[in-house]
Chain A
Amino acid sequence: MKISVNGEIKEFNSERLMLNELLEEMKFGKGVAVALNETFVLRTSYAKTDINDGDRLDILSPVQGG
């Protein structure tokens, strides 16, 4: 399946993927926050959040801000 991760299309072989597995596979560290299809996902829900073909993920981390 194809998933957009931070605006880039990524291909995954798995038929079924949970959000925590995807973050691990892509080696995202801790200290990030995730929005799935522009909706915030609580960290405690990662293991029960299904990722489907065509989903859009935004994975954000701290940066400088004004």
Chain B
Amino acid sequence: MTNSNKKWKIEGKEFDSRLMIGSALYPSPEIMKNSINASGSQIVTVALRRQSAGEQGGNPFWEIIKELGVTVLPNTAGCHTSKEAITTAMMAREVFQTDWIKLEVIGNQYNLQPDPFALVEATKVLIGEGFRVLPYMTDDLVLAQRLADIGCTTLMPWGSPIGSGRGLMNPYNLKVIRKQFPNLNLIVDAGIGKPSDAIEAMELGFDGVLLNSAVALAQEPVMMGEAFKYAVYAGRLSYEAGAMQKRDMASPSTPTVGTPFWHQFA
């Protein structure tokens, strides 16, 4: 049995790829476009920032994203209070014409750690306003419970701080969240540095990974996008296939029956 044709459903939509990718930090718009294509990702994060007056020539970045035909996931990056995040989410909904929001409320500037209290507050308001909130959160079990209680069906705990490339700092916490919330979509968001980190997240049973710097800052972003495509796929297959149990003792894989006499043990 293979899952190669299985669709993944998140927030009411179906996708082939479980990789979500960011659109920032690429060396050029062309490399961004090619990297996203190579990654196979169908969900791309975007943001909003102040526009200069008189920019009548359209928005080249936005035109490229539209041409890709992907589902956009706007973020509230840079918001430090629930009020800022709520306002940004409302603005994003109007510009991007989507109810999806990657909700970020930063609580500490050093490691860009999400503020769990403001996150819950903003989530509650936005769900009430009809948003589908995908909260960027710490790997805290109680916070996960609070967010699930108020209606989140997707949770996005960090692997490690944004842009750090440190991989999964605390696989135990992620594993516990997975175990406690078997029916929610769980995405490792932030901290993924290498395809092997993505495989680890997927082998923990996470439903997907969201990353940006790992591809955009690679020496060859397009090639790395492709590497992540296979990593996420392999990690998911591995999880579904069920890995063997680790053993302390060696156990021969070649049959021992019929071993030539010089290898026989008494």
Residues of A within 8 A of B (CB): 5-7, 26-29, 31-35, 38-40, 42-43, 58-66
Given contacts A28-B51, A33-B94, contact A61 B59 (CB under 8 A): yes
Q: Is the CB of A62 within 8 A of B91?
A: no
- Main secondary structure on chain B at its contact with chain A? mixed
Binds A, one of B19-27, B141-149, B201-209, B247-255: B19-27
* Cα distance, A32 to B52, chains bound together (Å): 11
Q: 15 A-B pairs, CB-CB below 8 angstroms?
A: A6-B50, A28-B51, A32-B51, A38-B83, A59-B50, A61-B51, A61-B62, A62-B47, A62-B61, A63-B46, A64-B25, A64-B32, A65-B22, A65-B75, A66-B25
Known interface pairs A33-B91, A59-B51; 5 further A-B residue pairs with C-beta atoms within 8 A, sorted by A's residue number: A40-B90, A61-B49, A61-B59, A65-B22, A66-B75
- Does B96 touch A at the CB level, under 8 Å? yes
Q: Is the CB of A5 within 8 A of B53?
A: yes
Q: Is the CB of B50 within 8 A of A29?
A: no
Q: Is the CB of B91 within 8 A of A31?
A: no
CB distance from B126 to the nearest CB of A (A): 12
* Cα distance, A35 to B162, chains bound together (Å): 27
Instruction: Please indicate the chain A residues that have their CB under 8 angstroms from the CB of B51 in the complex.
Output: 6, 28, 32, 59-61
* Cα distance, A27 to B61, chains bound together (Å): 19
Q: Pick the contact of A62: B25, B65, B90 (CB < 8 A).
A: B65
**3 tightest A-B contacts by CB?**
A65-B47, A33-B91, A66-B22
* Cα distance, A6 to B25, chains bound together (Å): 23
- Does B213 touch A at the CB level, under 8 Å? yes
CB distance from A28 to the nearest CB of B (A): 6
